[in-house]
């Protein structure tokens, strides 16, 4: 049941990314280009997402536990550390350079945009490299 719910949520999310233009790198880059041909339409997409998320969290946390799990699994740390800050910088730089972030990049595979077949493998290599670095660092601490 959980796999089906996750699949449906992923399909809905992917459809929303395509419909909103978030899977179109040119549209994203125009949104980020505030000094040039700025396209503010994605600000409305993001604003709508924040509103829906806020309402969803309010409704979800009224429950004692999630419908398909034994407890809510939310981050407990409020500390901004080096890993969080450097990850945010790398994510933002990649988004600004390519006009894609991981979600829209994976959705764009379906659209078969040629650049996506370079971006997604590079992204996956980066994820694997970051995981490897994290394992090495934890072994050195032990």
Q: How many domains, the chain?
A: 1
Please give the pLDDT value at position 96. Answer: 87
Please give the pLDDT value at position 23. Answer: 85
| Triad 52, 103, 11: Cα angle to 5° | 70
Q: What is the pLDDT of residues 65-107, one digit of tens each?
A: 998 889 999 888 899 998 899 989 988 888 888 888 888 888 8
DSSP string, the chain: -HHHHHHHHHHHHHHHHHHHTTT-HHHHHHHH-TTSS--THHHHHHHHHHHHHHHHHHHHTTSSS-TTSSS----------HHHHHHHHHHHHHHHHHS--HHHHHHHHHHT-TTHHHHHHHHHHHHHHHHHHHHHHHHHH-
Q: For residue 32, what are the domain limits? A: 2-141
pLDDT > 90? residue 134 = no
């Amino acid at each position: 049941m959980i796999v089906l719910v996750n699949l449906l949520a992923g399909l809905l999310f992917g459809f929303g990314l395509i419909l909103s233009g978030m899977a179109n790198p040119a549209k994203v880059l125009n949104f980020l280009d505030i000094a040039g041909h700025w396209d503010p339409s994605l600000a409305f997409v993001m604003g709508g997402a924040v509103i829906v998320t806020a309402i969803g969290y309010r409704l979800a946390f009224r429950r004692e536990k999630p419908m398909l799990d034994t407890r809510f699994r939310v981050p407990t740390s409020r500390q901004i550390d080096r890993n969080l800050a450097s990850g945010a910088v790398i994510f933002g730089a990649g988004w600004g350079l390519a006009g894609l972030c991981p979600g829209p990049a994976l959705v764009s595979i379906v659209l078969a945009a040629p650049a996506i077949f370079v971006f997604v493998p590079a992204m996956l290599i980066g994820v694997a490299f970051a995981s490897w670095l994290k394992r090495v660092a934890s072994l050195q601490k032990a």
